Every structure is written in C-alpha cells, then in structure tokens.
C-alpha cells in the first residue's frame, strides 16, 4: 500500500478559458490568480484491487463522487500503467464550505494530481516535473492545471509566453511581475451556493457551435498579450478594464449560446454596480470578476484591505446568500502534507 497527501489551492482566471478542443485542451490561452487560502486537502491510499476509486468527503463516504475520481484515474492510466488493478481510497476536504458554490474542481483535481504524482514516485522512483502534474490535473478539470503554481499561472500555447503549452500550465515569471501586482486579495461574494443551472462541461460544449466563438478566442489571445504588458508595467487601471471585460465576455458568451442561459443573479449585478460606484467615488481599485457562476470575486491590492472590508461589510454582505463571503490572498498554495 502507498499513501500520499497534498493541499492544492483554487484559482480565478483573469483571462478566461471558455471552449475546448480535443482531450481537455483549451480553445484559447488563459491566465489566473492562485487563491492560496481556498484549498482542498486530499489523501490517497492505494491497495491491490480492481481499479476502483472510493471517495470520502470530510471523513464521510460519498459514493456520488466516485465516478468523477474514477474517471480522473482512468484518464491517467495510459501513461501510468502501475495504476492498473489498483484501488484508490480518496479522503478529501475543502477548507471552504462545499455549499459555497465556488469551484472546488480546480483545487480538488489539482490535489488529486499531486497525490497521483507522489504515488507514481513511490511506485516507480521517478519524480515527475510540475508540468506533468499540471497536465494530469488538466485531465480532471481544465482550470485545475493552473492551480499547481502561484501567484499567477498561464495555460495554453501563446506566442507571447515562451514555454506555454495547451497540455499544461506554466507559472508567470515572478521577476516580470510588477510590484503593484505582488500582493492582491480576493473576496468572493457568495450569491448562490447551490448547483449551477448549466455545468461548466455543458457550457464549454456550447462554444462548439457558437456564432461568436472564433472572435472570442481571438480576443482572449489578444488580451493575454495585453495583460502581459500590464503585469510588467504595473498599470492597475488597464488591469481593471481588461479583467472586468473578460468576466463580462464570459457571461455574454453564455447569453448568446444556443440554448442561451444566464448564470448571474440580480444580486450579482447589484454587487458589481456597488463595487463600480465605490471605485468611482473613492478611487480604490476594486476589480470584479466571475467564474462560470453567480458569485462575484472582488480583487484588490492588499494595501486597500481596510477600505475593501468596509465596502464588503457595509454594503455587499447583505446581498450575499446567508451573508457569506470567502477571502484569500493571491499566492502559491501547494503543500505536501504528512500522510
């Protein structure tokens, strides 16, 4: 029997991945902030068996998670023959509420990939590079491949980023990151905690026949190049415009998919409006973004924490489901745990 345990953080995309090709490959390049303090911790035990996965969440057996985890291991098998005939017992825990509706697939699949990589080392003696771990995570959930790096990760081959690849994510070079972007925070305003009406998997699929897909991919790739310049130069105003435009484009693509759908709720729009009003009135650079859901991420430089918390507590919390919001610093978050 072998055992491995890792913590892996979540991430929020600044330039969004929306649309795929082939086996979990992105239709355009994307870049994300890693949410150091919102993470999954996973421990995997192996035993000789029939190649089955059994999942325990917070110590409680959860058969409804088995299929997704099983699919993760099945996808690794062509490259990891030792997994044949091995059973996996997976114990997992998120440090944010399950019901919060924030994507746990990125941190969850990232943690699983890190554990699988460590098990591979124990079985074969081969230490896999982080790019391979990232690629393994990608097979579980596309955006998960970015979670194994921080504070920023790039996924998708792009001429402006040497070494970038569709197969795995790479870190944004630390030395290129301007001072202005080194210490940021994310406050995730929980508007809706339940299951989304349309899953990400189904949403990606709708891009295949989307009338604006080609234009969206071209815009995203152009934004990747522009954002690189912004991250190097420290232009927070340009960052704000680009990141907010990306979030609204993601949701605009949903609205003009066929069938069309809406994931934002009235409270999401009201939070966005209040953040914009506050920014206009105070000049405090709060930046909104969204993933494929109703929750609103409010990004801001750490030096404005007091002002941001004031807005959140006085004006935004009342719009959140059960007054719930989650906070994280942007940073690296992978930790190998004592199994």
Q: Which residues bind ligand PMV (CB under 6 A)?
A: 13, 16-18, 30, 105, 141-143, 200, 204, 250, 291-292
Kindly tell me which of 125 and 259 has the beta carbon lying closer to ligand PMV. 259
Kindly tell me which of 140 and 285 has the beta carbon lying closer to ligand PMV. 140
Three-state SS letters, 5-67:
EEEEEEEEEEECCCCEECCCEECCCEEEEEEEEEEEEEEEEEEECCCCEEEEECCEECHHHHH
Query: Shortest gap between Cβ of 35 and ligand PMV (angstroms)?
Result: 11
The span from the CA of 133 to the CA of 113, in Å, is 6
Kindly tell me which of 31 and 83 has the beta carbon lying closer to ligand PMV. 31
Query: Shortest gap between Cβ of 170 and ligand PMV (angstroms)?
Result: 15
Kindly tell me which of 152 and 311 has the beta carbon lying closer to ligand PMV. 152
Residue from 186, 170, 229 nearest 38 by CA = 186
Query: Shortest gap between Cβ of 11 and ligand PMV (angstroms)?
Result: 7
Residue from 39, 4, 13 nearest 223 by CA = 13
Query: Shortest gap between Cβ of 31 and ligand PMV (angstroms)?
Result: 9
Kindly tell me which of 287 and 311 has the beta carbon lying closer to ligand PMV. 287
Write down the residue that tokens 């993933």 correspond to: 291
Query: What contacts 205, CB < 8 A, 6 or more positions away?
Result: none
Query: Shortest gap between Cβ of 106 and ligand PMV (angstroms)?
Result: 6
Query: Shortest gap between Cβ of 297 and ligand PMV (angstroms)?
Result: 11
Residue from 8, 26, 11 nearest 213 by CA = 26
| 323 three-state secondary structure | helix
Residues in a beta bridge with 297: 188, 289
Query: Shortest gap between Cβ of 145 and ligand PMV (angstroms)?
Result: 8
Q: Evaluate whether 25 touches 166 at the Cβ level (below 8 Å).
A: yes
Kindly tell me which of 45 and 291 has the beta carbon lying closer to ligand PMV. 291
Kindly tell me which of 114 and 250 has the beta carbon lying closer to ligand PMV. 250
DSSP string covering 73-120, please?
HHHHTTT-GGGTTEEEEEEEEESS-GGG-S--HHHHHHHHHHHHHHHH
């Amino acid at each position: 029997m072998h055992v491995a345990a890792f913590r892996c953080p979540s991430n929020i995309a600044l330039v969004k991945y929306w649309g795929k090709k082939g086996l979990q490959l992105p239709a355009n390049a994307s870049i994300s902030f890693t949410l150091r303090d919102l993470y999954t911790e996973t421990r995997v035990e192996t035993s000789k068996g029939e190649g089955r996965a059994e999942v325990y969440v917070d110590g409680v057996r959860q058969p409804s998670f088995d299929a997704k985890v099983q699919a993760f291991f099945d996808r690794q098998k062509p490259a990891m023959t030792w997994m044949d005939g091995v059973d996996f017992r997976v114990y997992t825990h998120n440090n944010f509420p399950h019901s919060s509706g924030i994507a746990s697939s990125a941190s969850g699949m990232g943690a699983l990939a890190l554990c699988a990589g460590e098990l591979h080392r124990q079985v074969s003696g081969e230490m896999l590079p982080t790019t391979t771990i990232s690629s393994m995570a990608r097979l579980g959930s596309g955006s998960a491949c970015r979670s194994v790096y921080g504070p920023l990760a790039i996924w998708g081959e792009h001429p402006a980023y040497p070494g970038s690849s569709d197969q795995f994510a790479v870190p944004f070079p630390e030395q290129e990151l301007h001072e202005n972007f080194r210490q940021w925070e994310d406050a995730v305003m929980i508007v809706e905690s339940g299951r989304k009406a349309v899953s990400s998997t189904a949403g990606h699929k709708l891009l295949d026949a989307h009338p604006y897909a080609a234009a969206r991919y071209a815009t995203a790739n152009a934004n990747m190049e522009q954002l690189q310049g912004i991250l190097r130069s420290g232009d927070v105003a340009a960052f704000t415009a680009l990141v907010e435009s990306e979030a609204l484009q993601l949701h605009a693509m949903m609205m003009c998919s066929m069938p069309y759908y809406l994931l934002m709720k009235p409270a999401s729009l009201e939070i966005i409006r209040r953040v914009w009003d506050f920014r206009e009135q105070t000049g405090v650079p709060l930046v909104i973004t969204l993933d494929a859901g109703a929750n609103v991420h409010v990004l801001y430089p750490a030096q404005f924490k007091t002002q941001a918390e004031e807005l959140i507590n006085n004006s935004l919390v009342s719009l959140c489901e059960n007054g719930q919001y989650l906070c994280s610093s942007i940073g690296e978050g992978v930790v190998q745990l004592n199994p």
